[in-house]
Structure 1
């Protein structure tokens, strides 16, 4: 194994490795899934590289891990739920990545209440950052818009019912000749009254003249 420009030869199984520090290099691509098989690992530092992709989902297998630094990379996606299984973690740094979603909760993670652990990840929310906004709960503007739509539909149904009832009523009246004649006579009387009132107003204005 070449580590910090020094060749290391291990006679024991690789699972005996308790610490790996590959920070400040130019490592690319994703974090190898093989790292999560090093069950004896206590310290892992991959900060300051160009790692992309997602954090391995089975990282919770590293139950002895005490320190994990993945800061200053291009990691994306959600923090795996397996983080809640890191019972020994006491030093964590995931800042300056492209992580998103809700921060997992676990008994040990609750003791890490420093927000800088997750800083410069615009998509993260949850303790110790701001609470996540539930997608099932509509925001106030959305709620107001829904209420306006319901009110509009209600008024439309009321208006449609009124118009339908009005025409049905007229249709019922017009079936009988006597009612139809009365209706026409009522309309003619109203028109005559309106015309008379208009002529009276015009005559009054001509007599008085403009002031």
Structure 2
């Protein structure tokens, strides 16, 4: 990055990895920069916005992420294709950045609401279970009434089954 007189730099399709060097802004005479179709990752260094002579830029088809630096020179590049195929990039001329902290906070808030819902449902089921059975075992008259009700229901079910059996037997005769 000490080649201050360098005007054109094309390193496309070279399988470059890692990030764009932070001191790329030292290339003050750079007019054209093509780093497309590599495996570059990380953010675009803010020093790239310091390149006043830059007229051509291509950072497409990499793994770049984060906000595109703002600067008077970078604002002249309005064609979004120079940043295409970098799914993590955002800001002008691409879509606005959604704050990851706001997104994470919203997700955590939804997770907490879901957790509280499950806690209340489980607590309600446990409370209802023990209230129901506790009352039956503590109040003798209610327990007898409950058992009488269950016996009556069993009797009705048995009577209906016997009646259905007799009806079907009569039909077959």
In which range does the TM-score fall when normalised by the shorter chain?
0.5 to 0.7
- Deviation track 1:127-183 (CA, whole Å, cap 9, x = no partner) reads 223445554427xxx89x95995597154443333222212222322xx4x554444
**More deviation in 95-104 or 159-168?**
95-104
Q: Which blocks of at least 5 consecutive residues in structure 1 are unaligned?
A: 1-32
Q: Does the CA-based 8 Å contact 2:2-2:26 persist in structure 1?
A: no
Cα distance in 1 between the residues matched to 2:63 and 2:8:
18
TM-score, structure 2 length as denominator?
Answer: 0.66
User: In the alignment, is residue 166 of structure 1 matched against residue 109 of structure 2?
Assistant: no
TM-score, structure 1 length as denominator?
Answer: 0.57
Look up the SS of the partner of 2:48 in the other structure.
helix
Give the match for residue 23 of structure 1. none
Q: Does the CA-based 8 Å contact 1:101-1:124 persist in structure 2?
A: yes
Give the alignment's Cα RMSD to 1 decimal.
3.8
Give the match for residue 34 of structure 1. 2
**More deviation in 115-124 or 74-83?**
115-124
Question: Within 5 Å, which residues of 2 pair with 1:1-211?
Answer: 33-35=1-3, 38=4, 41=5, 44-48=7-11, 50=14, 52=16, 53-61=18-26, 64-65=28-29, 67-72=31-36, 74=38, 76-77=40-41, 78-86=43-51, 88-96=52-60, 98-102=62-66, 103-119=68-84, 121=86, 123-132=88-97, 134-136=99-101, 137=103, 149=114, 153=118, 154-173=120-139, 176=140, 178-207=141-170, 209=171
How many residue pairs align between the two structures?
A: 163
Q: Does the CA-based 8 Å contact 2:11-2:36 persist in structure 1?
A: yes
Q: Does the CA-based 8 Å contact 1:100-1:125 persist in structure 2?
A: no
* Residues 169 and 81 of structure 1, relative CA distance in 2, 3 Å threshold: farther
Cα distance in 1 between the residues matched to 2:25 and 2:122:
57
Q: Does the CA-based 8 Å contact 2:49-2:72 persist in structure 1?
A: yes
Q: Which blocks of at least 5 consecutive residues in structure 2 are unaligned?
A: none
**Higher-helix-fraction structure:** 2
Higher relative CO (CA 8 A, sep ≥ 6), structure 1 or 2?
Answer: 2
* Residues 200 and 98 of structure 1, relative CA distance in 2, 3 Å threshold: same
